[in-house]
Amino acid sequence: MLLAISILSITAAAEVSADAGKKLFKANCASCHKLDKKLIGPALGDVTQRRTEEWLLKWIRNNAEFRASGDADANALFAEYKGSIMQAFPALTDDDIKSILAYTVEGDKKAAPAAAPAPGADAAAQAPAEGGNSPWLIYILGAFLLVNLVLLFRVRNTLKQINGENPTNLLEDVDFITRVLIANKRFMTFLTVVLALGFLYAIYSFLMGIGIEKDYQPVQPIAFSHKIHAGENGVDCNYCHSSARHSKHSGIPAANVCMNCHMYIDGSEVVDASGNLKYGGERSPEIQKIYAAIGWDPEERVYMEGYEQKPIQWIRIHNLPDLAYFNHAQHVNAGKVECQTCHGPVQEMEVAYQYSELTMGWCINCHRETEIKGENGYYAGAIDGSASISDRLVDRFHEEKITVANIGGLECGKCHY
C-alpha cells in the first residue's frame, strides 16, 4: 500500500541528501507512490505537511506493529486504502528516510536551459552532425558518368556522319564499348579485382553479422510497457530486476513482483473529482494475464487455494554466446554503470528491444573509454594507509584518466572461460 510513506522528514544532518533520497525513492517507493498524484498509495509530495516525523518513522519501521498499538491515524489510513498492506523497511536508517523526505520536498530539479549559441558562430558548426555516408554523392557521380557516356555517343555519331558513315543507335554503341573494354586487359584486371574485393567484403559483412541481434524486438506473451513503468511512473530498474545488484544475471521478475503493484492496480482505476482512486471500468486484459498465471481472484482480492500456477513464457531479448562471461553485479556495483548504457533508453520503450550490438568490439571500446569510479568502495580506500588505490593507479600509469582497460579490462580471461 503506502510503500514509501516511509519517506519523510528533513534535518540538517550532513548525511541527509535529496540526491541520495531520489535514488532511495526510486528503489523503494516509486512502484507504489508518485510525488504529485496517487498511485497505489498516496502522493508523497506534501507528506511532511500531513504527518509528523515521529509518526512517519514509526509507520515505516513496522506499520503493522504501529497499527496494533492502537494509533487512530495509522488505522484510519489503513482503512482508507482498503487494507492495502505496506511492507516494513527496517533496513532504512533514519538518515535514509530523511533523505527520501528531502527529495519529496525538493522534487526533481529542472534541467538548466541550454546556453545560447555565441554571436557570429558558424551556422554549420551549430547544425546537427549528420552521417558522412550520404547516398547523394553516389547519385551525383552516377549522373555525371551517364551524362559523359551520352556525350561520348553523340560525338562518335557526329564523327561518323562527317565521314559519311551511318550513325549507330544506343544498343550498338553499348555493344561497341563493351567489346573495347573486354579487349582491354588492364581494365579487365581492374574490374576483376574490384568485383573480388566486393564479393569478399560482402561475405565478411555477412559472417560478422551472425549472432548480432541489434533491434531484435520479439512479441512478448504480455504487452509490458517499460515506458509506463520505468518512464511515466519512474520505477527503478533494480526494483523488478533486483538480481542485477548481486548476480551475474539481471533476471526476469517473477509474477509475484508484478503483484506487489497489480494486486491493487488492475487497469480499471479512475480518479474522481476529489482525487480519490476508485475502481470502475474494465480491467486491463494484459493484467488479467498476470492474474491467470499466478492465480489471483480480482473480485475477492485473494489468491485462489489449490490453483496450479502457470509460468509466464517471456522471450529473452539479450543473449550472449556461451563463451562470453558478463556479470551484471560487477558493472552495477563496481562500475556504477547505468542500465541505459547497454540497454538504451528503456524508459522510452513501449516494447523493449535490443539497443546495442553487444559485440566484443563494442565491449572493448567501452572498457577503453570508461573511467573507473575512484570514489566508490572498490577503488577508494588505502591498502596500507599510504595512498588510495585511485592515486596509485594514476602514479603507475602516469595518466589523469584511469580506464577499465588500465586495470585489466582487456584481458581475455576476464570475459572468456
Average pLDDT (278-286) is 79
The amino acid at residue 254 is A
What's the confidence (pLDDT) of residue 205? 86
% of the chain with per-residue pLDDT over 90:
26
What's the confidence (pLDDT) of residue 392? 66
pLDDT tens-place string over residues 87-145: 777 777 878 888 887 888 887 554 334 444 444 444 333 333 444 445 677 778 778 77
Q: Which has the closest alpha carbon to 296: 256, 268, 269?
A: 256
Average pLDDT (241-259) is 91
Give the residues across from 296 on adjacent strands: 303
Most confident of 67-81, 154-168, 340-354: 340-354
What's the confidence (pLDDT) of residue 3? 40
% of the chain with per-residue pLDDT over 70:
76
DSSP state of 306: T
pLDDT tens-place string over residues 337-392: 999 999 999 999 999 999 999 999 999 999 999 988 766 666 655 445 455 566 66
What's the confidence (pLDDT) of residue 279? 65
What's the confidence (pLDDT) of residue 270? 72
What's the confidence (pLDDT) of residue 10? 36
* 117 within 8 A of 124, measured Cβ to Cβ: no
What's the confidence (pLDDT) of residue 375? 65
- Give the span between the Cα atoms of 238 and 247, in whole angstroms: 12
Q: Which domains can be identified in the chain, with CATH numbers?
A: 18-106 (1.10.760.10), 142-208 (no CATH), 328-343+356-415 (no CATH)
Sequence-distant contacts of 331-340: CB under 8 A, at least 24 apart = 332/238, 332/244, 332/245, 333/245, 333/378, 334/373, 334/376, 334/378, 335/370, 335/372, 335/373, 335/404, 336/373, 336/376, 337/370, 339/237, 339/244
Most confident of 10-14, 86-90, 109-113, 202-206: 202-206
- Give the span between the Cα atoms of 103 and 100, in whole angstroms: 5
The grid coordinates listed for 409 are 579490462
Rounded to 10 degrees, the C-alpha dihedral 401/404/410/415 comes to: -170
| Residue bearing cell 558548426 | 125
pLDDT of residue 2 exceeding 90, the answer is: no
